[in-house]
């Protein structure tokens, strides 16, 4: 009889999940996603200013929609 493992593998118990750390990581990822999405929306809103375009008026047509303050 020997005290060696006799070639058998020893399986250790799985580590317990650290729920507080897991919760904080998920919350941080959610906050980063929220901030990133809002930063992207602000960037797109600022960067996509339309060019100055005069409304096309045909003969006798009235323009229903027009910029409140044209940039031209």
Rounded to whole angstroms, the Cα distance separating 6 from 26 reads 43
- What pLDDT does residue 70 have? 59
pTM over 0.85: no
pLDDT digits (tens, 9 = 90+) for 6-61: 666 777 878 888 999 999 999 999 999 999 999 999 999 888 866 666 655 655 66
pLDDT digits (tens, 9 = 90+) for 5-21: 566 677 787 888 899 99
- Per the structure block, which two tokens stand in for 15? 């580590």
Whether the CB-CB separation of 53 and 71 falls below 8 Å is answered with: no
What spatial distance separates the first Cα and last Cα of the chain, rounded to whole Å? Answer: 96
Handedness of CA 5, 9, 14, 15 (dihedral sign): positive
Q: What number of helices (H) and strands (E) belong to the chain? A: 1, 0
């Amino acid at each position: 009889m020997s005290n060696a493992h006799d070639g058998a593998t020893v399986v250790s118990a799985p580590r317990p999940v650290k729920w507080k750390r897991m919760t904080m990581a998920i919350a941080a990822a959610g906050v980063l996603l929220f901030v990133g999405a809002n930063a992207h929306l602000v960037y797109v809103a600022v960067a996509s200013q339309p060019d100055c375009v005069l409304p096309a008026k045909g003969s006798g047509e009235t323009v229903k929609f027009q910029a409140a303050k044209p940039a031209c």
